[in-house]
Chain A
Amino acid sequence: GAGVSQSPRYKVAKRGQDVALRCDPISGHVSLFWYQQALGQGPEFLTYFQNEAQLDKSGLPSDRFFAERPEGSVSTLKIQRTQQEDSAVYLCASSLVFWGYGNQPQHFGDGTRLSIL
């Protein structure tokens, strides 16, 4: 497809379960970002990949959160032992090249809405 694709679109899990969220960036995009968006808030940075290298994971809220992009294209965000406060929309974005975070537009996917019961 032409845009960033995320799956699943919606995910409901019980507290304590592990979840995996997938992101397919735009083909050829070097940079990939994960954000968490709480209701009524702006996206909040979680982590950044340049190709397969995770260059910044300063936004991951705890060691229960883990992200990977093993072949430099598809990325997975995994949350272990989910808690209610993990409920949010998780957005993925990609950009063509890396010139620093601010020089390039980021193209967002529609997100995965995660609900923890």
Chain B
Amino acid sequence: QQPVQSPQAVILREGEDAVINCSSSKALYSVHWYRQKHGEAPVFLMILLKGGEQKGHDKISASFNEKKQQSSLYLTASQLSYSGTYFCGTESDSGNTPLVFGKGTRLSVIA
């Protein structure tokens, strides 16, 4: 079942922070986060595995709450280059199932 992302769209000024949420009705094994700019390939950001971990690099980090079946992506001190559509992809806990992607969150960072 497709995960639900929120918000659907957000506009930020440079330097502002944002949180993007990804919720599933199924128990999850992993959550992937990707960013896609218009007409380009989705670019891998990070994977979070079952176990309730948090990851991050630079000013982008994410958490995975296994009990809530939810992941959040945190963007701090946003830059113009952060603009794009962010997708979460989830793998269910039953294992070895294809990733199911959400509909995406469109992020626009303006000067």
Contact = CB atoms under 8 A, between A and B. Distances in A.
Interface size class of B (residues with CB under 8 A): 20 to 34
B96 A101 contact: yes
Contacts of A40: 103-104
Interface in A1-20: 3-4
Nearest to A38: B103
Nearest to B5: A42
Interface size class of A (residues with CB under 8 A): 20 to 34
B80 interface: no
A102 B43 contact: no
Contacts of B102: 42
8 contacts: A40-B104, A45-B98, A103-B47, A105-B44, A106-B32, A106-B44, A107-B44, A111-B41
Interface of B: 2, 29-30, 32, 34, 39-44, 47, 49, 87, 89, 91, 95-104
